[in-house]
Structure 1
């Protein structure tokens, strides 16, 4: 019932795994991800549900934790012991805000979609996985990103290996998604390449996407440096972020959680399962 009312199943047959249309779609998404770490499914949410999706997002946007901070791409504290040319020394103002999972009602479309078994099966297949897990993080597993006019989400890496996002409200102007696919790996930070992008010496590595409401984006954000350009005009940009992991129990670091949500939960104070040993 959820998928029937929400997803354009004629284009995206989530309810028919293994069929010809399903296999063709999965092959296309996997090819996109292999080529540049990103795949976009236009109008994944059918037009009849997009207004409802937008209104629900607008209703919870006031619950977003908003703060302007100075951050680096790893969201780590300043470390004078690092070499002078280390990309962690490049800092940016971050003025976006996040509504955490525990402030998103369970009946909202994004919450129901995030936990829907058919949707999770589809996402796992797109990333060529036998299974995936919702983040154990009670705040970051599902959130609504709120980007107000005049603000941006600066260059960063995601905590989880891959991210699935859904634009629910477009900015009047700006708010372009920019990314550098595969700029690091699970084993190597590739600090020189990251620094080159931050210093404006590697514009050729940057790819740009202008997303529309209802578009679903599958993205390898753990290994691709990315940002959202400044929003201009008179409207916010809202994006639902569905965070899954290859391993159960993954929780964000206390420092980053406090940056994004302004608070911690008991789970963040316990020993968390991390996906790898990258800086963050």
Structure 2
């Protein structure tokens, strides 16, 4: 079964069958050397740098989508549900360094279920795609740096399950880049929207962008603030990456089944709005990093999967896929 839609993206096709054991570097490199591939990658890189996200509609074949949804529906009731609060930075509040009204300490509610990587079947479409060297090479070309597969045994490739009334409040990711795949939308098309800002933080993960983050929440999450005034809110703040008013922009993605989204999740604030209707929204989340050995923190693992599991170098799944440079 074809997983990547090579009819839609012929420049992603490889003529010969490659072997992960051989790494087949020539084949993997050659599929990105065509004029069409270079043009698509350059355009994607510019959009990612400008807006914080770039997406590829119909990236998955219909067969792959149906196969993935069928498996996930069978496992949906087993998905761990987190129903609590978190900060935009997914970190513990810190009143010793930040005031009570600081955006750093502002907590927002989230309710989402998630199927961890180790709960997917050994033949899962998502496992195969995550370990496809073409995907890693494509993403590295788009972001302009060598990316590595995550070592997180739970979160390297997981699935967010948004049941009716579930939602995910604004936050930044711990991983530098996240790749999401829409598998099934909510029944009500005006709900379960994926929204994200232009990049607010720099490449330095210590840059919290407090002013920009507070301004974005005041602009786009007044209900969540419930009248609270954040101490860093500065409506005169100007983000050099935006136009018009100069305030952080909020984008809503037309996220249809089969769409691949590349998001600078550690830099762009993003959320999923509340789900309405009877059908669950299913989105796969594939994480990559600019350094080898990345894993989500134990706190984040516990938040989303109810348990913490540190990387094991002897786990075969992590050794199957070579790093493509």
Same fold (TM over 0.5): yes
Q: Which residue does the alignment assign to 2:177?
A: 162
Q: Which residue does the alignment assign to 1:234?
A: 278
Residue 123 of structure 1 deviates from its aligned partner by: 1.6
Q: 1:6 aligns with which of 3, 7, 10?
A: 3
SS class of match (1:179): strand
Residue 106 of structure 1 deviates from its aligned partner by: 2.3
Q: Which residue does the alignment assign to 1:199?
A: 218
SS class of match (1:232): coil
Residue 204 of structure 1 deviates from its aligned partner by: 5.6
Residue 114 of structure 1 deviates from its aligned partner by: 0.3
- Residues of 1 paired with 2:41 and 2:122: CA distance? 28
Q: Which residue does the alignment assign to 1:278?
A: none
Is 1:42 aligned to 2:61, yes or no? no
- Superposed counterparts of 1:33-112, under 5 Å: 33-81=48-96, 82-112=98-128
- Report if aligned partners of 1:61, 1:144 keep a CA contact under 8 Å in 2: no
Q: Which residue does the alignment assign to 2:161?
A: 146
Q: 1:117 aligns with which of 122, 133, 140?
A: 133
- Report if aligned partners of 1:90, 1:198 keep a CA contact under 8 Å in 2: no
- Report if aligned partners of 1:162, 1:244 keep a CA contact under 8 Å in 2: yes
Q: 1:245 aligns with which of 250, 269, 289?
A: 289
- In structure 1, runs of 5+ residues without a counterpart are 269-280
- Report if aligned partners of 1:63, 1:103 keep a CA contact under 8 Å in 2: no
Change in Cα spacing, 1:190 to 1:204, as seen in structure 2 (3 Å) is: closer
Is 1:189 aligned to 2:228, yes or no? no
Q: Deviations over 1:224-264 (max 9, x none)?
A: 01001111111111111110111011111111211111111
- Residues of 2 paired with 1:22 and 1:106: CA distance? 31
- In structure 2, runs of 5+ residues without a counterpart are 14-30, 221-234, 236-246, 313-325
Query: Which is further off, 136-145 or 12-21?
Result: 12-21
Query: Which is further off, 24-33 or 216-225?
Result: 24-33
The alignment of Structure 1 onto Structure 2 pairs a total of residues equal to: 264
Q: Deviations over 1:66-121 (max 9, x none)?
A: 13111111222232222233212322211011111111112111110001112211
- Residues of 1 paired with 2:128 and 2:163: CA distance? 26
- Report if aligned partners of 1:74, 1:88 keep a CA contact under 8 Å in 2: yes
Q: Deviations over 1:109-138 (max 9, x none)?
A: 111000111221112112122x32111111
| Greater C-alpha radius of gyration | 2
SS class of match (2:155): coil
SS class of match (2:92): coil
Residue 266 of structure 1 deviates from its aligned partner by: 4.1
- Residues of 2 paired with 1:266 and 1:220: CA distance? 24
